[in-house]
Amino acid sequence: MITRKRLATGACVLLAALAAGLFPTGAAADEPAAKESPKVELVLDVSGSMRARDIDGQSRMAAAKQAFNEVLDAVPEEVQLGIRTLGADYPGQDRQKGCKDTRQLYPVGPLDRTEAKTAVATLAPTGWTPIGPALLGAAEDLKGGDATRRIVLITDGEDTCAPLDPCEVARDIAARGIHLTIDTLGLVPNAKIRQQLTCIAEATGGTYTSVRHTEELSKRVRQLVERAADPVVTPVATEGTDRCTDAPQLKPGLFTDRETFGQHRWYRVDVLPGQELRASVSVSADRAVNDDYGVLLRAVTVRGREIVRGSEAGDGRTDVISTGLRYPKPPLDDADGDAKPAAETVCLQVSNSFSAPPGVKTTPGMPIELAVDLVDAPEEASDVAAFGLGRGWWLLAVLVLAGFVGGLLWGWLSRWRVAVWRTN
């Protein structure tokens, strides 16, 4: 039986529930809003020139599809990704129609990998190269909200729809103040194409990369997508010196500098026992350079003994070349618990072997980006990471000793076998 008291109690509970739904509590109202997911749109050139078979023995279109499939498999869950095409639908010669040939192939949002791959698989090289209209369309696809936004343009040619200059389009997008970055990847090492794609990227604070292999394309696009998901780190300008004693003291972070052709630059980092130094450097060839080049990153003691090195070399056109190193400093076994362990000063040397063709200016120096991090060293930290020319001497000594002992044993066994043979 429902009494008046029970009815009143039920009515109060119902009103309280409605009030809770209509008027959030103070604690809930004060909670910070969830961070918006970053947005990325891949803009792919599907113009007729993508039929050319000059990337790893296959067509540019096939290489792009393969790279896209690998990238789609690796997209972070928090990234909202979309795909836009240019030159994919109109095969005719009407310039007015050809310059409108851009469409969104896959909408920006949570990624259905199977659906996105299926959409990419249907593409075939077709028409014009309307880069400017495609960038405008991608900017519209990404509008709204305060999330990180990035356009990644992959193309093999110049825009064919002037006077709508894609560089001016990029500047217009940058002037809107919507914090949208455009990165460009060129599949053909052509000076004119390079100039246009560099201008587009620089207008929005993005990067230009020339790629000639499928693996390079996949790796670079994946890096750019992942970069959109990571917090933006503003590089700190620094100035290396000609010797370690005068070098700037660096803390963990990202640093920029400039280095002329064939120059050495020095920096210093303090590493405590139980820490691992991780450092990497990238040198950008922002002008024409000769073939055969390299970059070297060395970790050296203040007395000049090499600890470990990282190096990378190339023999063709490049835009960025990088290398890195790791140095784990073992913890002290008998350290006084009350005493603060002394840090070791490690000198980092950045060198390059770039050279310039005749007529190319060598100043100012090429941009370099140096990343420094200090993390807890692995529990089994040892000299394994230091097989450079410095600490590697003991490994060489062990090998020499092993060879010497092995030679003695082999000689003794040979003489014994000969003696046995003669007695028989």
Is the distance from CB of 328 to CB of 382 less than 8 angstroms?
yes
Position 103 confidence tier, pLDDT thresholds 50, 70, 90: very high
Distance of alpha carbon 171 from alpha carbon 180, whole angstroms: 11
Position 318 confidence tier, pLDDT thresholds 50, 70, 90: low
Query: Nearest 5°: CA angle at 197, between 159 and 311?
Result: 145
The CATH number corresponding to 236-386 among 2.60.120.380, 3.30.450.20, 2.40.160.40, 3.40.50.720 equals: 2.60.120.380
User: Which of 273, 267, 265, 241 has its CA nearest to residue 253?
Assistant: 267
* 55-64 pLDDT tens trace: 999 999 999 9
* 268-315 pLDDT tens trace: 999 999 889 999 998 887 778 888 889 999 999 999 999 999 998 877
What is the average pLDDT value for the chain, to the nearest integer? 82
Q: What is the pLDDT of residue 424?
A: 62
Question: How far is residue 414 CA from its own chain's centroid?
Answer: 57
Domain 39-229 fold: Rossmann fold (3.40.50)
- Type of residue numbered 264: H
pLDDT score of 385 more than 60 = no
Beta-strand pair 208-210/180-186 = parallel
* 229-245 pLDDT tens trace: 875 566 788 999 999 99
* 35-57 pLDDT tens trace: 688 999 999 999 999 999 989 99
Q: What is the pLDDT of residue 4?
A: 43
* Average pLDDT score over residue span 143-148: 83
Tokens of 346: 């490690």
* 340-351 pLDDT tens trace: 678 999 999 999
* Residue with more model confidence, 293 or 24: 293
* 154-167 pLDDT tens trace: 999 888 887 788 99
- The residue ranges of every structural domain in the chain are 39-229, 236-386
